[in-house]
Amino acid sequence: MNSSSLEAVFANGISQSRSIRYRESIYAAIKEAILSGKLLPNQPLVEEQLAASLNVSRTPVREALTILAHENFIGPQGGRGLYVRSLSRQEFVDIFVANEAVEPYLARRAALLASEEQLADIAEALDRGDACAAALDTAGFLRASRDFHGRVGTAAGNTPLAGFVLSNEERTDMYLLNYGKVVNGEQMEISNNEHRAILGALKNRDPEAAQRLAIVHAQSLRERFAELFQPLAEE
């Protein structure tokens, strides 16, 4: 019953090139399905069904699930089985606050350290965000925005912090994609403009402005998505 829906989700299968570990492809496939909204929160992940959909055995599926569970994308829910995790409002806010605390620092450092190539990478993510906003492609926009923030982090030259921020973005994006109808065309455009301002500061090698604009961006998000931050109304 669910098997068919999973086969739809993983219609392409995974790259069966023998020299690449299945675990990696399976991990990427499931994570991608979650981040793109093809696997919804609270959906059960049955090892055998996943294995059948992907034409592999349970073993590599288990290892992929182990990692995803450790990253909190999926988790137990009751006694048996793993499910796509649904972030609570509190978790969403905590993760947002975490990035709010870290990203201004990364923007400042990126203004000092970003290479020309890295600036081009960041600009690419920005352009992609514009295109997705125009097409009202929310999932695509979220990925572009995620790439933007992730690449700013990378340009700041601190791998642990950059990884932390990116992983947080992935999880909040999952929340926004599934729960918030809040990400509409106007919101995307505003975010893109704020991103553009940050990139401008990076290009000008102006760390103070970059830091300030990152703070402004976070505050703007808080105001525009205020409903998500209101003290635990429901759920």
Partner DNA sequence: TGCATGTGTTTTGTATACAAGTATACGATG
Partner DNA sequence: CATCGTATACTTGTATACAAAACACATGCA
Which residues of this protein are in contact with its own copies, per CB under 8 A? 23, 62-63, 66-67, 70-71, 91, 94-95, 97-98, 101-102, 105, 157-161, 164, 168
Report whether 74 contacts 84 (CB < 8 A): yes
**C-alpha triplet 158, 163, 167: angle, nearest 5°:** 155
- Residue 70 interacts, among DNA, its own copies, none and using kind-specific CB cut-offs from 5 to 8 Å, with its own copies
Residue 14 CB, nearest approach to DNA (Å): 10
Rule CB under 7 A: is residue 82 a binding residue for DNA? yes
**Partner from its own copies, DNA, none contacting 56, C-beta within 5 to 8 A by type:** DNA
What type of residue sits at position 81? Answer: G
Q: Total binding residues for DNA by CB under 7 A?
A: 23
Rule CB under 7 A: say whether 22 interacts with DNA. yes
Q: Is the dihedral of CA 186, 135, 123, 158 positive or negative?
A: positive
Helix (H) / strand (E) containing 222: helix 207-224
Phi and psi at residue 109, in whole multiples of 5°? -65, -35
Residue choice 57, 72, 115, 230 for contact with DNA (CB under 7 A): 57
CB 80 to DNA: min, Å: 4
Residue placing its CB nearer to DNA in the complex, 46 or 67: 46
105, interface contact from its own copies, DNA, none, CB < 5-8 Å by kind: its own copies
- Residue 113-152 contact track with DNA, rule CB under 7 A, x = bound: ----------------------------------------
- 85 is an interface residue for DNA by CB under 7 A: no
Residue type, 206: D
Residue 21 is a binding residue for DNA (CB under 7 A): yes
Q: What does the block give as tokens for 133?
A: 């906003």
What three-state secondary structure class fits 73?
coil
Token digits of residue 93: 């806010």
Q: How far apart are CA 4 and CA 8, in angstroms?
A: 6
In angstroms, give the least distance from the CB of 52 to DNA.
10
Is 7 a residue that touches DNA (CB under 7 A)? no
Q: Record the tokens describing residue 40, joined without a space.
A: 């919804």
CA angle 151, 152, 157 (to 5 degrees): 90
46 binds DNA (CB under 7 A): yes
Whole-angstrom Cα distance, residue 82 to residue 112?
A: 43
Residues that bind DNA in the complex, under the rule CB under 7 A = 18-19, 21-23, 44-48, 51, 56-60, 62-63, 78-82
